[in-house]
Amino acid sequence: MPVEMEKTVTKLMYDFQRNSTSDDDSGCALEEYAWVPPGLKPEQVHQYYSSLPEDKVPYVNSPGEKYRIKQLLHQLPPHDNEVRYCNSLDDEEKRELKLFSNQRKRENLGRGNVRPFPVTMTGAICEQCGGQINGGDIAVFASRAGHGVCWHPACFVCSMCNELLVDLIYFYQDGKIYCGRHHAERLKPRCTACDEVDACHMKTHMPAHG
């Protein structure tokens, strides 16, 4: 990946992780992976990744790592959040983009929390597939979705594109989770030529989240 693009991804991830909500940011260093869910023991990290498709596990220098980088840029477009990545916005459009970005981060952005489902509880139903999650199973929880709402790791996907939510970063709206790209597109039209959220529509108000 080009150095400038790598800097962009690093900055983007720092910004999203700083703004997103997660119950535990203490992670563990497992050098075979390019990224691991924070707050897990090594055996839990392996348990989490064993439930994902092999080609989407971000082993260092693997197809899974390339997939992760591709999805970071696709699911979290820099130009949806940073004025400097946009083309020819006037001052008012720049202000509107900043307001749009900040409101989404404040009201919709979250980060999934991976942890074992409590063995003391009877289990839960996966929000995506409707299958059973038993005590001791690794599950993904999203605080914005409500207490106890959870997913199988492979089911924690965008409600629109059905792709795994990269680094567990989601946007919650009207009872569903989305990647950043498709959440933005639910609120504003996207230009097919430049891929930016249309600045001419920035002046419309965002609907209340729920």
Statement: residue 15 has pLDDT above 60: yes
User: 85, 79 in Cβ contact below 8 A?
Assistant: yes
For residue range 110-168, what is the model confidence (pLDDT) as tens digits? 999 999 999 988 889 999 999 999 999 999 999 999 998 999 999 999 999 999 999 99
User: 30, 45 in Cβ contact below 8 A?
Assistant: yes
Q: What is the pLDDT of residue 145?
A: 97
Q: Which residues pair with 151 in a beta bridge?
A: 140
**Residue 200 CB partners (closer than 8 Å, separation 6+):** none
Q: What is the pLDDT of residue 81?
A: 75
Dist CA 53 CA 131 (whole Å): 18
Statement: residue 24 has pLDDT above 60: no
Most confident of 4-13, 145-154, 195-204: 145-154
Dist CA 46 CA 33 (whole Å): 10
Q: What are phi and psi of 63, to 5 degrees?
A: -55, -35
Which pLDDT band holds residue 37 (cuts at 50, 70, 90)? very high
* Buried-state track 11-44, b at ≥16 Cβ within 10 A, e below 16: ebbebbeebbebeeeeeeeeeebbbbbbbbeeeb
In terms of DSSP bridges, do strands 169-173 and 150-151 run parallel, antiparallel, or are they unpaired? unpaired
Which pLDDT band holds residue 208 (cuts at 50, 70, 90)? very low
Regarding predicted confidence, which is higher, 28 or 37?
37
Which pLDDT band holds residue 97 (cuts at 50, 70, 90)? confident
For residue range 99-111, what is the model confidence (pLDDT) as tens digits? 888 898 999 999 9
Tell me the residue type at 105.
K
Mean of all residue pLDDT scores within the chain: 83
Question: Which residue reads 């430049």 in tokens?
Answer: 194
pTM of the shown model: 0.80
